[in-house]
Amino acid sequence: MITFAVIGGLLLNVGAYLTLKGKIYEAVIVYLFADVCWIAVAYERGDFLGTLFTVAGVIFGFLAFWKMKNGEMSKNLNGEKDDL
């Protein structure tokens, strides 16, 4: 039986594979979808504090993705400052 936990786990594996291949933007989107599955799992179990923290993490993750996509990050992956 497919549950939100199984779907979330599969999405985490896909995200890790995309990260390994260097497709960071795609990986972040997949991770955000996996987080939505974890929100559903926490909500179904009545863990409202867990749901709240996961929602906050998804919001921060989306904001980081948006900042990366717009080129507003202050450092690159090598830890050097960008010349923006």
Q: Give 38-59 pLDDT, tens digit per residue.
A: 899 989 999 899 889 988 988 8
- Note down the domain range covering 53: 4-69
Assess if residue 34 is contained within a domain.
yes
Percentage of residues in the chain with pLDDT exceeding 90? 29
Among 25, 73, 28, 31, which Cα is nearest to 54's?
31
Assess if residue 64 is contained within a domain.
yes
Res. 60 pLDDT band, cuts 50 70 90? confident
The pLDDT value recorded for residue 77 is: 58
Assess if residue 31 is contained within a domain.
yes
Assess if residue 53 is contained within a domain.
yes
In this prediction the pTM is: 0.71
Among 81, 32, 24, which Cα is nearest to 60's?
32
**Domain count within the chain:** 1
Assess if residue 79 is contained within a domain.
no
Assess if residue 75 is contained within a domain.
no
